[in-house]
Amino acid sequence: MPNITATFPIIGYVRSPLRQKFGIPRQPNLVAVPSVIEFLPPFNNPQAFDGIEDFSHLWILWQFHQNRIADNEHFSAQIRPPRLGGNEKIGVFASRSMYRPSNIGLSVVALDYFDPKTGQLHIIGGDMLDGTPVLDVKPYIAYSDSIATANSGFAPQKPATKTVIISEFVYTKFEQFIHQNSLSKKDIAIIEQLIAQDPRPAYRQVLDNRQFVMQYKDVDITFLQTDNQTLSIINVVKVEN
């Protein structure tokens, strides 16, 4: 059989406060991150979205645009999912790893609203990086897309979260950013939820006093682990361009 490839148009791009891969939730809907999909012409025609607000959730097909594109010579049959501690291997097709031959992601998100004046689709709960190319949008159909008896393999439940401590010093800096309109109170809550997911690589999730930095919008948030179940935000600074 010949090696067949397919080409898909990019219909738009995600605009998200998540500016780097580190810190992105490992699955959609773990954190209510607000994002916007900006559609390119001619896909931004408002008529293409007639009826979309009758649905509460949408499927987004998108591209892992910052990954090395796999080919037959570099295909990795197995990966180490973080959920299994980053050591145990499973087949790539038994995972939702970003490192896969098609380089395509699939996420279900909540629909906030569609703005016909701008052609923008506002969504909540995405796990997509700012600038992610979008390939398609489809409505989520509860009776067929939600299977109550489904077996979720090695991930039967949502991952446990850690406690996040924000010092008075950091709260003061957050308030400064709110005053400057760089962040909102809602952003602070989202940042706390993102860090509670513990975005560190599985092999780094140990008590070793190492500091990690997660970018959200135009700020860098520095945090470290202070005990087995606690992460502490110790600083927040404006990103230097």
Nearest-angstrom CA–CA distance, 46 and 87: 47
Residue that finishes a domain, picked among 145, 174, 205: 145
pLDDT tens digits, 147-181: 889 888 877 788 889 999 998 999 999 999 999 99
Please tell me whether residues 113 and 42 are part of one structural domain: yes
- The answer to whether the CB of 134 falls within 8 A of the CB of 38 is no
Over the stretch 194-228, which tens digit does the pLDDT of each residue have?
999 999 987 788 878 899 999 999 999 999 999 88
**Looking at the 3D structure of the chain, how many domains does it have?**
2
Evaluate whether residue 216 is within a structural domain: yes
d(CA 132, CA 13): 5
Q: Report whether pLDDT(105) > 80.
A: yes
Per the domain annotation, does 203 fall within a domain?
yes
**Same domain (yes/no): 57, 112:** yes
Residues 114 and 187 in one domain: no
Query: For all residues of the chain together, what is the average pLDDT?
Result: 90
User: Same structural domain for residues 171 and 225?
Assistant: yes
What is the distance between the alpha carbons of residues 180 and 169, in angstroms, rounded to a whole number? 17
The domain containing residue 175 runs over which residues? 163-238
Same domain, 135 and 29: yes
Strand order in the sheet with 212-216: 163-166, 230-238, 219-227, 212-216
Mean pLDDT of 127-149: 95
Classify residue 33: in a domain, yes or no: yes
The answer to whether position 157 is within a domain reads no
CATH number at residue 114: 2.40.30.70
Averaged pLDDT, 103-129: 95
pTM (whole model) above 0.85: yes
pLDDT at 2 over 80: no
